[in-house]
Structure formats: structure tokens, C-alpha cells
Structure 1
Amino acid sequence: MGQALVGGTVADVYTGTWVRANVEFDDGVITYVGPREPAGEAVDITGKLLVPGYVEPHTHPWCLYSPTSLLEVAVPDGTTTLVYDNLFFFLSHGVDGLRAIVDQMRAAPAHIRWVARISPQSAYPDEAERFAIETIAPMLSWPEVVASGEITNWPSVARGDPRVAAGIAAAKAARRRVEGHNAGASYDRLNELSLAGLSADHEAITADEARDRLRLGMWTMLRQSSLRPDLPALLDGLRDVLGSARRLMLTTDGATPSFYAERGVIGGALRIASEQGVEPMRALQMATIDPATFLGLDERLGGIAPGRAATFNVLPELGEWRPETVYVRGEVVARDGRLTAALPELAWPAGPGLAAPDVSLFEPLSGVQPVARYESAVINRRVDRAVEPGDVHAVLVGRDGSWATKGVVEGFLDVDGFATTATTSLELLVLGRDPAAMARAAGRVAELGGGFAFDGGWSAPLEVDGLISAGTFDTTVAIDSRLSDEMSRHGYPFHDPLYSLLFASGDFLPELRVTPSGLLEVKSRVILAPPVRS
């Protein structure tokens, strides 16, 4: 016998109206929406609203939290569909290990979908091998995969890199969207990227940039994240098109644990939309049917209609986006802000090892060097000058301890020795001015099997791949909070230390980065200094 929710007001995201209706469902699927009285078990929700579960179309389930622990905060928030980035699981565990993780996540009390990256976001000397098209193309056809992952190195698309072009073609052949990461791209460059096949972008930081992307046919995600909390200004500047544009979505882009704990996931973005005066139905559409349509899931998710999954949120009133009750596939999975369903216990494949590097790898540079002068959490500018005593070095060390890429940073951290594996390259990042202190911090992280360590001070493990805590979501919030405190105490002047560390070895933001290929000047793609060998 089926179940029903009766007496509520249903959000009809298809017509943009609110309808008094009963909703019947059986075996996880909606069977009827309308006025008739149900014959089976019924729950009275008179005076309440029934809305589709929220969709997060773009997130990274490895910012200290895991693919499972993230759900502890996402699902009670009403975010019941999440699209996960596969990048680091693929790099750490290969295709088979990734497949095992994807399979285990099918038991999650949420709809989990994935993207498959066609290129990395750090400069690897063996990138062509790691991301060979014969490896990537089959993943794009997995039923859980809904898009190719963001291409952070968008200049490779613009210049027609054959391997990246082949990846885009493979995604199109598999009828998958192609995500871009078009930070800083001009209007003319966006034309080229759209022509090359990029379907979507989440990097607009002004309303004009978002409007440019919409005009060029790109699905455009409006971001509210820890690194870029841009949503209020974006919504304010897009008031003239919010009602008519149908390629707008909301995303949190893999925010830090503390951000999610304080502000929620897509429910939090909806609260900002209400504060900005966005009409509630339109805001809801950007959080449900619009991203579901982008992902090719609108026949199953994103709305309340027969044949769709019985996945919805019961809200107390219009404009209050935090659900009283959350249903996924017809089952109650959260109530009154707390997860009530069990999470799968992931059996993680064995990850890469981590060796304690020799102190010789931290011998300081001398003479005139390109120095990364930080001007924000993730942007630095190149300044060529003589290295001075007391300068802080940034050294990216291979996990096996056999090589190191060296650079000098300014205005980032004032520390003798600090190390972490929380990097976008998955290698060991060591910062400091004292080679012995740097080696001790690196050794401590190696003892932990990955994590954070200040020489002689605070340390914390990240047991899974050096990126993820094996604990609960609350554990990750505690680590995130302590990291922020310790980084600030050691001179960090910005607002998002986790992403500052992650992106220090990226290959996609200005201006200098320590990567596995060497010290990279991002815009020119020139390797200024190769790695040194131990």
C-alpha cells in the first residue's frame, strides 16, 4: 500500500504556481498529484508547503568532509541531490577504486550523481597518461555521471588542445554536459569557449559576467561559497533577467565545513535569495527544476509530478527554506534539522603512501627569484626580487619524497615550518623559513598519514587520501575552525585558509604556483624552475 501527504500546498515548479493538492507515492515514486483522497496511509501537512528536494549541481566532496559526512549537513538542509566531483578519488584510486566509491554511494539517503574530469587542476608532467581519452571516455558513460567536470585550465580549450578537445567530444558523444571554469575570461574568449563546447560555468563574480555567460548559451551557476560568497550581489544585478532566464542555478561550489555548518547548503542560498527579494517560486526553480534540467534529470528529479522520485521537503511556510521533514525516495531521511537515515560506511580503497622528506629538499633559494606576493586568499602576483633572510618558502614535495618544487611566497604565512597534504595536486605542501622546522612539520604529517602540522604545535590527521577526515561532519568543522585560528595566529591575513592551501599547487589562478611539473607561471604556462630531485 502506498503513502500520501495530504492537505499541503504543492510547489508546481513547472508552471511556477502554488497548488493545493495531495501527493501519493509508492516504492519511492510519486504516483498521483491532485485533489482525490488517497486510499493508503496519509500524513496531514495542512498549512505547510511541499517543495521538491533542492539540487546542488556542483560540489567537491573532499574539503575535509567525505562524500558521506557532507550529507550530515546537506540533507537536513533539504539538499537531496548532489553532483560530486570525481577528481581526487580518480587520481588517488584509479578507475576501479573510483567505481567502488560510486557504487557504495548508491546506498546514501540522497541522490548522488558525479562528474568525470577530462583534465586535472594541477600541472602534472604525466597528465596525458593520467587523463588519456581511452581512460576518461568510458567513465563519461557511467549512468551516475551527468557531466564532464569543470575544466579549470580553460586556455587549453581556447587554444584547441587536442586531448582536451577529444575529452569534450567524448562527453558530447555520451550526451553529457561539459562544465567550464572560465574565471577571468573576456566576452570574446567566452564566445570561443562556448563554440568549443563548454555548456556551463560557475565562475561569474559579477552580474555582468553572469549575463555574458547567459547570452552565449551557457548554463550559469550563481555561487555562494566560502571562497566566493557572491550570491547577494549577483542576484541584485540580475533582477531584470531573473524572471525570464531559464539557465540559472544556485551552487555552493564545495564550501568549507564551517561555512556549511553556519549557512547551510542550497537551503542557505535560498535564504539569501529571499533576503534579496527574489520571488520565492523563481528562487525555488533555480534550486530544483532548472539544475535538474541542466543535468538531464528532470524526468526523475527537480519537480513534484507522477513518475518522479518521491523526494521532497515539507516547509513550515513560504520563505522559510529549512525543512521540517525531508523525504528521499518516499522515506523520511531528516526531521527538524537532523539526519535520521543511516549513512553508508565507505570502505576506502588503499590510497597513495606518504614519505617523510629529507631536510635537504628545503634548502632555501637564493639570488633573484620570482616571488608570489599574495593579494587575496587565492590570487598572487609575481614580483622578481632577491631572496632575503626570513623569506617564507613554499615547497611542494612528491608523496614519495623524491622531488620538490620550490618557490617563495610573500604576505601569506609567517611560520618556521608548516605542512599539509590538503592540496589540489595531492602532494605535500610545506611552508616556512627554517629548513629543519619545515622537515619536522613534514615528518609529522607523514606520521599522521596526511593532514596538517605546525612544527612543534597543532596538528590534525586527514586519514583519507590526505584530504578527508575519517570522522563526522562535526569533526571536520572542528578541524576547519582550528586551522583558521592557527593560520591567523601565524600571520595568514585572508578569509579562506583551506582553499588558499588547496590552490597553492593549482594551475589555473594567477600568478605563480608550485606544481608537480615545477614552478608554473599560470598565464604564460611557462615552467620557471623544474622540480629538484632528492
Structure 2
Amino acid sequence: MTQYLEAGSHGSIGDTSSKLSAVARGAAEPDLIIRGGRLVNVHTAEIMPDTDLVIANGRIVRMTDADEVPAGDRTTEIHAEGQYLAPGFLDTHVHYESSMVTATGFCRGVVPTGTTGAFMDPHEIGNVLGLEGIRLLLDEAANLPLKTFCTIPSCVPAAPGFEDAGALIDPDDVREALEWDDVIALGEMMNYPGVVAGDEAVHEKLSATYDAGLKATGHFASRETGASLDAFIAAGISSCHESIRREEALARLRRGMWTMLRQGSAWKDVPETVKAVTETDVDTRHLLFVTDDTHPDTITERGHLDRVLRVAISNGLDPVTAIQAVTLNAAEYYGVAGDLGALSPGKIADIVFLDDLASVAVSRVMVDGEMVAEDGEWVADDVLPDENEHTAAVKEAYPEWARKTIEIEPPGPADFEIPAPTDVEEVTAPVIRVHENQVTTSEESMTLQVDRGTISYSEDVSKGAVLERHGGDGSMGKGFVTGFGFDRGAVASTVAHDSHNLLVVGTDDEAMVRAAERTIDLDGGMVAVDDEVLAEVPLPIAGLMSDLPLSEVSERVRRLEDAWRELGCDLESPFMTMSLLPLAVLPDLRITNRGLVDTTQFEFIDPAGAD
């Protein structure tokens, strides 16, 4: 990354420093003055009433008392009396792919809510298409008004030896990508057991990161707060978003770690983890808020970081402290505070106008000194393709090899059978229990009946299967899962973290076949079936993202949620919960294309319960 970013078409501060100083001292007229706002000063944690912001070349040059600086003949004035002026919000850990749209659709959805910058970990597309796929996503994002920074994926695949992805990003690939201009850090180090145990390849990637002068971001999914956490941090990893308890967040803060509190569509950790600061007197300079994984309907209906801030504030956090966490703290962590994270001289004029502070009521959004959104709607011309042109623009950005990634033959009913030990009428099998709005699962032993040599389904116990879909060996792992509440039908998805193989969960083998077949026909996506297809969300780009506008994808997701409820599941964001069933770097029990994995002992186990 260069030391200073470009303020859109105005260039960097190095290109315009003389002009900026001239405007600040009154020797040249400003481009814009925002009059009379209540400035949220994140440097000093105070609200400054009746403050004007003077702007030139897309940057703030002065913050003054109201009406101190006169307008020039070519100066635009915007009146903000009664409104709060906050820096643009920065999401320090997010996967664009989880929104089911590409960078253009994500930008259209989040910028009007106040998010003006995002530190993206594209490990979803990386697991399917490798560095070439990541490059496609970054190239698309390069000219959008949302400032996109890349943390290069560190774990592709996430759990080597336990799953098969569509690509491999090895230490040499990491070293190459760290030289890209838009890469700012190493992405979440998910192989935390490898860090703690001294895995050579893991530490080679960390060493390459530090040699490049960049940060390594973390994913310490263990609930331990002692020696293993210390070993993880001692390896140089400086942030983590995996706290789910107050004690975990507090332990990270006390160790100097930049502690990311997560509130996505399904992972709703903030009400618990924010207690680490609301119930203590610890300093919050290392506090960050992230969305991680957010579905399209969450963005269109409830917002993005503005939603996360509302949750934090409603759970007792001071509003200015909350805003600091997604502005100044975020910019300081990633080393971009020279440009972003505050409203003070020299900073890029990314500004969020708020009608109310406590409810984070976003009224207008400015990027690079230009108003781009008002009342949740885009007002800037020519910064995004028209919604009618969206699909064509996305298809142009992603060639056919990125849109035809499902390389698998449709399965038959017999493929989903799980054989029982010989001559038994029932088995005691390990069953994955999912938990609503949590990333963790738990293992339960349950008695299941045997019919003609295969294990039968039972009430609230479904079968899960993961089919390798990247043109490899066509392997399939199987197991049982409970907690979804299905009483009939099946669901399937190629969003199956992190290798994104074909994941199917159902109540009978024939329904699972129908769900798998339809998902393959779509070139990837999400499907719910009973005797027929009930709802579907096509995701042809890498099997992860749609080429449709965000609003249309959001509507399809709502219909999919209705279909899941029709099948008996009333969990919130259930397909996001399902998508983590194969993620073998999270506790306790997971299914990958290679089999059923005990992720506490990191060993395969028999889904029939045999020793």
C-alpha cells in the first residue's frame, strides 16, 4: 500500500498538498463548506457543536467555528444544522462473497448505510478460484466509491488434509500477493492449531507477511484464554474476530490484541462480547466492530455497520466510543489513519451525516467530498452501473471460467446412504447439533434406527453430505445433524465454508438428490426442495455470488427463508448456519468432503458410531 490513498479523481495528498494548504490559509477558495454540523471528534471523544468543515480536492482542510470561512464564487455550501457529522465507517473484517453479490452489488448496498471502506478477506472466492479469482474481485472493486482493502487469504484450504478446495494458496502465492498494491495485510489465520503447534507452512506465511511490513490478522476459534491464546499472539498475529464470550474479548484486549466484535446475519456476538468494555474500565482504543458474514436481506432491511453500532449502543456502549471503533481505531489498526478514520485537516472527506447519534440514523453519505447517497438512495451519477445494466457489467468482469465452476456428476439416492455395522437394529451415532446465531456446533450421541443395513432418519435428525465439486476425486463425506427442525424435504448449497463444495442436508435420500441436481443445474447456488423446487438463489460466479442486483438477490433470499420455514426450520439465517457445517477449523464436529471430523482432536470419526 502507498502511504497515502487517492481521494477519488483528486489523487493523493502528495498530488494536492500545496492546494490544500492554500485553501486552509485562505489563499484559495474551497470547493465545499459543510455548515453548522455537530462534529463527532473521534480524536478527543467529544461532540463539537456549530462546526464547519472546509473541503478542497476531496479532503478536509479546516474544521472551524460556524461561518468563520466565507464561501468563494465556486464554493458549494451544504447545511448540516442539527445533524451529526461522523467519519465514514470502516469494516475491518468482511467477506464480500457472503452478501451473495460481487463488489459492485455490495457497494450499492452498504455505502448508503455509512460504510465507506472495508478490509475484505476474499478467501471464499480464493478457495474456489485461487489468486486469479481474488484478482477478479479486486479489479472489479478498484473503481467503486467503496474503498476496498484486501487481506490476502492465509488458509486455502482452511484445514489441509481434512478437505479439498478448488485451489491452493501456498507460502509462495502469499508472498507474491503481499506485493499487490491493494493488499494491506494477511487474512484471518484460521489454522490456529498450526500456529500454536509450530506448523512450518503456517509460520512461513506469517514470516512472509512480516517481511513485507504488513500485519497478520487472526481467527482464534478456541475458547481457551491461556497458553494457546498467548502462543497465537506471540506469533505476531495482532487481531481476532472470534470472541463469543465476554471473557474471551477481555482476554484479547488485555493482551494488546485488536479485538473485533462481530455482528453478522447469524453470528450475533456483540450483546455478550461488548460486556468486556461496558462492565469494566478497560481502555477501548483496540476495540473494533466487524460484520464478517452478512446476507443481502440483512443489508437491505437492517443495514450494515450502522446496524452493528445500534446493537452495541443499545447494549450500553457510549455512542462516540462505538463510532471510534469503526473509524479512528479501524484506520489506526491498518495504518491508513493519514487518510481515513477522522474528520480533521488532511483527511479524505468521507462523511456520514446522522440525524440522531444513539440510533445511528444515517441521512446522507459523502465519499471523497462528493455526496453519493441520501436517505438510503444513490444520488451520484455514473459511479455505479444502473441496476438495469448491473448483470451485464458483472458478467463482463467475470469470464466464463469464473462462472462455470461446478464439476460434479449428479448423485443418486444410494450415494447418500450411511451403512450400519452388520446385524444391528440400532446404532449410537455422533450427531452434529447446530446452535442458532452461533458459529460453534456440539457433538451429541443419539440412538438411530437401522433399516436394511443403513441408518434411518429420525425426528429432527437430518442427514448431511458434502460432495467435492471442483473436478477432483468426487469424494463425499456424510453424517447426521440436528437442530434445524426439518420435517421433510432437503436443502443444498455451494456456499459451504471454506472449500465451498456441494453441501446437502435433508430428511430423505430422494429429496437430497433433487436438491443436489438443481444446484448443479444452476452452476451453483442455494436450493430448497420438497417434492419440487420451493425456492432457489442462483450463484453462478464461483458458486458463491449472483450477477443480479442486490435488491433482487435479497428478495430471492427472503423466498428461500420462507421455503426453509415450510420445511420446518425456523432458525434465523439458517442457511448461514448450515454453511459452516463443513468448516473444520471450528469446534466441535464438522462434515467435509473427506468425512466426519472431530475438530477438537482433529481426526476423522465414523458417522455410524463404530469404534
TM-score calculated relative to the size of structure 2: 0.81
- Measure the CA separation in 1 of the matches of 2:553 and 2:31: 39
Partner of 2:384: 343
Is residue 35–residue 78 contact of structure 2 (8 Å, CA) maintained in 1?
Answer: yes
Is residue 372–residue 511 contact of structure 1 (8 Å, CA) maintained in 2?
Answer: no
Whether 1:51 aligns to 2:101 is: no
- Measure the CA separation in 2 of the matches of 1:372 and 1:389: 13
Q: CA deviation at 1:79?
A: 1.1
Whether 1:403 aligns to 2:471 is: no
Q: CA deviation at 1:432?
A: 3.2
Is residue 46–residue 320 contact of structure 2 (8 Å, CA) maintained in 1?
Answer: yes
Partner of 2:443: 381
Partner of 1:174: 212
* Unaligned 5+ runs, structure 2: 1-29, 386-392, 422-426
Letter in 2 for 1:371: P
Note the alpha carbon deviations across 1:368-388, whole angstroms, 9 max, x for none.
575323141451315376653
Note the alpha carbon deviations across 1:406-459, whole angstroms, 9 max, x for none.
322132444454322121122111233544433332221111111123252224
Partner of 2:431: 372
Partner of 1:500: 577
My pick for the range that moved more, 155-164 or 398-407, is 398-407
Letter in 2 for 1:32: R
Whether 1:83 aligns to 2:119 is: yes
1:73 to 109, 123, 140: 109
Partner of 1:15: 44
- Measure the CA separation in 1 of the matches of 2:230 and 2:64: 45
- Measure the CA separation in 2 of the matches of 1:311 and 1:283: 18
2:229 to 178, 190, 193: 190
> What secondary structure is seen at the aligned counterpart in 2 of 1:217?
coil
Partner of 1:118: 154
Partner of 2:13: none
1:245 to 284, 287, 294: 284
2:360 to 321, 326, 337: 321
How much is the aligned-residue C-alpha RMSD, in angstroms? 2.6
Q: CA deviation at 1:215?
A: 0.9
My pick for the range that moved more, 77-86 or 310-319, is 310-319
Query: Structure 1 residues 491, 319: CA separation in 2 closer, same or farther (over 3 Å shift)?
Result: closer
Is residue 147–residue 171 contact of structure 1 (8 Å, CA) maintained in 2?
Answer: yes
My pick for the range that moved more, 124-133 or 171-180, is 124-133
Partner of 1:471: 548
Is residue 57–residue 291 contact of structure 1 (8 Å, CA) maintained in 2?
Answer: yes
Whether 1:93 aligns to 2:146 is: no
Partner of 1:199: 238
Partner of 2:322: 283
Is residue 123–residue 515 contact of structure 1 (8 Å, CA) maintained in 2?
Answer: no
Query: Structure 1 residues 361, 290: CA separation in 2 closer, same or farther (over 3 Å shift)?
Result: farther
2:564 to 484, 487, 490: 487
Q: CA deviation at 1:191?
A: 1.0
Partner of 2:21: none
Q: Which has the larger radius of gyration?
A: 2
Letter in 2 for 1:437: A
Letter in 1 for 2:61: T
Note the alpha carbon deviations across 1:193-212, whole angstroms, 9 max, x for none.
11112211112122221110
Letter in 1 for 2:159: A
TM alignment of 1:519-534, pairs within 5 A: 519-528=596-605
Partner of 2:9: none
- Measure the CA separation in 1 of the matches of 2:165 and 2:200: 13
Query: Structure 1 residues 124, 160: CA separation in 2 closer, same or farther (over 3 Å shift)?
Result: closer
Letter in 2 for 1:204: S
Whether 1:157 aligns to 2:195 is: yes
Q: CA deviation at 1:127?
A: 7.4
- Measure the CA separation in 1 of the matches of 2:32 and 2:156: 46
Is residue 266–residue 576 contact of structure 2 (8 Å, CA) maintained in 1?
Answer: yes
> What secondary structure is seen at the aligned counterpart in 2 of 1:313?
strand
- Measure the CA separation in 2 of the matches of 1:91 and 1:129: 5
Partner of 1:458: 534
1:145 to 176, 183, 186: 183
Is residue 121–residue 152 contact of structure 1 (8 Å, CA) maintained in 2?
Answer: no
Is residue 358–residue 401 contact of structure 1 (8 Å, CA) maintained in 2?
Answer: no
Letter in 2 for 1:201: C
Is residue 381–residue 510 contact of structure 1 (8 Å, CA) maintained in 2?
Answer: no
TM-score calculated relative to the size of structure 1: 0.92
Partner of 1:423: 496
**Kindly, what percent of the aligned residue pairs are identical?**
28
Q: CA deviation at 1:241?
A: 4.5
- Measure the CA separation in 1 of the matches of 2:372 and 2:301: 21
Is residue 61–residue 345 contact of structure 2 (8 Å, CA) maintained in 1?
Answer: yes
- Measure the CA separation in 2 of the matches of 1:393 and 1:104: 39
My pick for the range that moved more, 373-382 or 211-220, is 373-382
> What secondary structure is seen at the aligned counterpart in 1 of 2:108?
helix
Query: Structure 1 residues 465, 521: CA separation in 2 closer, same or farther (over 3 Å shift)?
Result: same
Partner of 1:362: 415
Partner of 2:32: 3
Query: Structure 1 residues 207, 510: CA separation in 2 closer, same or farther (over 3 Å shift)?
Result: closer
Q: CA deviation at 1:471?
A: 1.7
Is residue 494–residue 524 contact of structure 2 (8 Å, CA) maintained in 1?
Answer: yes
- Measure the CA separation in 1 of the matches of 2:196 and 2:209: 17
> What secondary structure is seen at the aligned counterpart in 2 of 1:10?
strand
Letter in 1 for 2:77: A
